[in-house]
Amino acid sequence: MSMITQITMVAVVVAVTCALPGVFLVLRGTTMVSDAITHTVLLGIVLAFFITQDLRSPWLMIGATLVGVGTVWAIEALQQTKLLSNDAAIGIIFPLFFSIAIILITRYAGNVHLDVDAVLMGEVAFAPFRRFVFMGMDLGPRALWTMLVILILNSLFIFLFYKELKLTTFDAAFAAAVGFSPVLVHYGLMTLVSLTAVGAYDSVGSILVVGFMVGPPLAAYLLTDRLYIMIALSIVLAIVNSVVGVQLAFALDTTIAGMIATVTGFTTLLIFVLSPKKGLIKASLNRRRELKKIDRQIKQAQKS
C-alpha cells in the first residue's frame, strides 16, 4: 500500500471514531467537557508513562482514560458546590491538569522520550512508520489497529445503548423516571470520549481531537432532526473531511491533522450558512418573514 493510502485510512478511521461519540456531545451540549478531557488525558499519558516507561503499553491507554474520566468527575464535583458557574469549573480544572502535565514533561524531558509538541499536535504522517507486527507478520500501521478497536467499541456502545443514549440525551428526567440511569450513560459516554482522545492523540494531537468530535456532528445536526440520520451524516462528513484534508496537506506540504481540522471547520461553517433547515440564511429569512407577518397584523388591526 502506498504511503498516502495508509495515511488516508488512518485519518478516516480516526475521524469516524471521533465523530460517533461527538454526535451525543453536540446534542447534550457538553463539547467543552470533551475539550477539557482531550487536554487532561495528557496528564494521564505522562503519569502512566512514568510508571510503564512504554508509550505502547495498553496500561498507558487505560491510565490516561481513567484520568479523562477523573476530569469529568472533578469538573462535576466543582459544579456541584454551586460556588462557580459550570463553564468556569471546566476552565479551572483542565488548565491545572494540563499545566501539571507540561511541568512534568519539561522537568524530566531529558530522560523521557515524550515530546510535548508531538502529544499536542500529533502527526498522522508518521503513522505508517509505526507498524503493527503480529507473529512476524506486518499488519499495517499500529494507529490503524488501535483506532479500529476503539471504533468498534464506540459503535458497539452506541448500537447496544442506542435507546438509553437517545432517552437520556433528549429527556434526562423522563429517562430517570422510567428507570434508566442518566449518570451511568453519561459516564459511559465520557469514558469512550477519553479512550478516543487517548487513542487519537499520536495521530491528531490532543487539541484537534475536539474538532474531529464536534465538526461533523454539528454540521449533521444542522441538516437533520433525526438521530440516526445525524449519525450517518456525521460519518459521511468525517470521511469526506479527512480525505480532502489529507490531499490538501500533501499538496501544500503541511501538517495533516491541522489541515483536516481546517477543512472540518470550513465545511461545517459552509453548512452552517447554507443549510436549508437550520442554516444562517434560512434563519434570517424566517425572521424577516415573521417580522413582515407581524407588520401585516398590526396594519390590519389599525384598519379595523
Q: How many residues contact another protein, by CB under 8 A?
A: 67
Query: How far is Cα 170 from Cα 191, in angstroms, rounded to an integer?
Result: 20
- Regarding 102 and contact with another protein (CB under 8 A), the answer is yes
Which residue of 284, 288, 290, 293 would you call a contact of another protein, by CB under 8 A?
A: 284
Burial class (CB in 10 A: 0-12, 13-18, 19+), 226: exposed
- Regarding 65 and contact with another protein (CB under 8 A), the answer is no
Q: From residue 34 to residue 53, what is the string marking binding to another protein with x (rule CB under 8 A)? A: xx---x--------------
Q: What angle do CA 186, 190, 195 make, to 5 degrees?
A: 150
- Regarding 276 and contact with another protein (CB under 8 A), the answer is no
- Regarding 210 and contact with another protein (CB under 8 A), the answer is yes
- Picking from 32, 33, 31, the residue whose alpha carbon sits closest to that of residue 23 is 31
Nearer to another protein, 25 or 140 (CB): 25
CA separation, residue 193 to residues 24, 98, 108 (Å): 10, 17, 28
Which residue of 183, 280, 285, 291 would you call a contact of another protein, by CB under 8 A?
A: 280
- Regarding 252 and contact with another protein (CB under 8 A), the answer is yes
- Picking from 244, 171, 264, 216, the residue whose alpha carbon sits closest to that of residue 20 is 216
- Regarding 138 and contact with another protein (CB under 8 A), the answer is no
- Regarding 169 and contact with another protein (CB under 8 A), the answer is no
Q: Which helix (H) or strand (E) holds 139?
A: strand 137-141
Burial class (CB in 10 A: 0-12, 13-18, 19+), 79: middle
- Residues lying near another protein in the complex (CB under 8 A) are found at 26, 29-32, 34-35, 39, 78, 81, 83-88, 90-92, 95-96, 98-100, 102-103, 106-107, 109, 116-117, 120-121, 207-215, 218, 221-222, 249, 252-255, 257-262, 264-266, 268-269, 272, 278-280, 283-284
